[in-house]
Amino acid sequence: MTIADRIQTLRKSKGMSQEELADAAGVSRQAVSKWESEQSTPDIDKVVILSEIFDVTTDYLLKGIEPVETNDHKTMADVIDQKVLTEKNGKRAKSILKWILIGVGIAVSIDLISLLIYILINGLPT
């Protein structure tokens, strides 16, 4: 799709005539007609105006590049909160791991002591 196709498609999708677009962009109807028929292309200042009229990016008008929509509007406070939460989760995970290892160490120690007591009382099995 060319810039001419995009201008025409956007104009029609807005329900605008060439005359209405020309008035909004500050050009003649013939200029709009030439843009849409690929006889000429709009100047860069007109591309900016067209992008505002059609509520699209200049990249879309010039190159057909669709903007990537994201709902990721993070503020600095959100970033800081996330970092703090990540650090707290990291500390919490280390603490939990430490207590699990201590528990495993105690269980192994109890088993070894029980085995040693068994051997002292009953002797080595033959």
Amino acid identity, residue 39?
Q
Tens of pLDDT, residues 34-49: 999 999 999 999 999 9
Q: In the prediction, which pLDDT does 66 show?
A: 80
Q: What whole-number distance in Å separates Cα of residue 119 and Cα of residue 126?
A: 11
Q: Express each pLDDT in 94-119 by its tens digit.
A: 888 899 999 999 999 999 999 999 99
Q: Is the CATH code 1.10.260.40 the one for domain 3-63?
A: yes
Q: What is the DSSP letter of 21?
A: H
Gap between the Cα atoms of 95 and 5, Å rounded? 62
Domain ranges of the chain: 3-63, 72-126
Q: Which residues of 20-44 are buried (b: 16+ CB within 10 A; e: fewer)?
A: ebbebbebeeebbebbbeeeeebee
Q: What is the pLDDT of residue 20?
A: 96
- Structure tokens given for 114: 């029980």
